[in-house]
Amino acid sequence: MIRAARAEDIDSVVNIYNQAIDAGFQTAFTERFSVAERMEWFQQHLGGRYPLFVYTDDGDVVGWFSISPYRPGREALNSTIEISYFVDNDHQKKGIGSQLMKFGLAAARELGYKTAVAIILDKNAGSVALLKRSGFEQWGYLPGVAMFNGEECSHIYYGTKL
């Protein structure tokens, strides 16, 4: 089931994000977050124009999808959003990411957004495949801008019109 995130979901959301940090090449963060460090971000996504959705399985949060402002403060970009999505390691390759993407993009359309972008690392093959299946195209490429233990990685911008 997919629903809007609630205050009690923060531990699971942070845990799933920390799994991605630990795995490497799934986010540009390299240090795990505490719940306290993610509290402000989480609260900004409860309700309003930039929601956070969670996928639950038997009541447990096993994935999430967020809608965030793209380049906040630049009014000309107000109809563009950045999306993020992560699935618990034990629940990957079960279609959860695809369901979250479909749900989240539909919600973005309902909120009146016109464009969605996802900024990912080129070594994240699962994300590349999900974005392409979801109608995203590569719109930008920043070669070798990220470094993980001495290994260069590129940033790719994917986008789609909603």
pLDDT tens per residue, range 33-48: 999 999 999 999 998 8
Residues of the chain with pLDDT under 70: none
Q: How far apart (Å, rounded) are the C-alpha atoms in residues 152 and 81? A: 27
Q: Could you tell me which CATH number the domain at 2-161 has?
A: 3.40.630.30
Rounded to 5 degrees, φ, ψ at 74 are -100, 95
Rounded to 5 degrees, φ, ψ at 127 are -70, -40
Kindly report the pTM of this predicted structure.
0.95
